[in-house]
Amino acid sequence: TTLALAGSQLFSWTAVSGASEYQIQFDDQSDFSSPAVDAAGLPGPNYSVFLPVGTYFWRMRARAPGFGGVWGAWTSPWTVTIN
């Protein structure tokens, strides 16, 4: 779990070798049944987002052209609490 102050947050992760784009999701439910944020087509391994106060789960995945443009598996979710 990561704690952060309210406002715009920058989320970063390790680049995936050969990835052409990334997708990131934030949800207040661990099953990601109704993501508050679902952003795809990200060119690099970071994303800036404003999240209201609360606890969120977030995950990301990558797509590489060498694999037929298919999205890779989602990461295990991380948790962030915005105060």
Summarised one tens digit per residue, pLDDT across range 41-51 is: 999 999 999 98
pTM score: 0.88
Query: Among residues of the chain, what percentage have pLDDT more than 90?
Result: 69
Report which DSSP code applies to 82.
E
CA–CA distance, 8 with 83 (Å, rounded to integer): 12
Q: Give the C-alpha separation, 4 to 73, whole Å.
A: 27
For residue 60, the model assigns a pLDDT of 97
**Does pLDDT of 8 surpass 70?**
yes
> 63 pairs with which residues across the strands?
21, 71
Cα–Cα distance for residue pair 20/42, rounded to 1 Å: 9
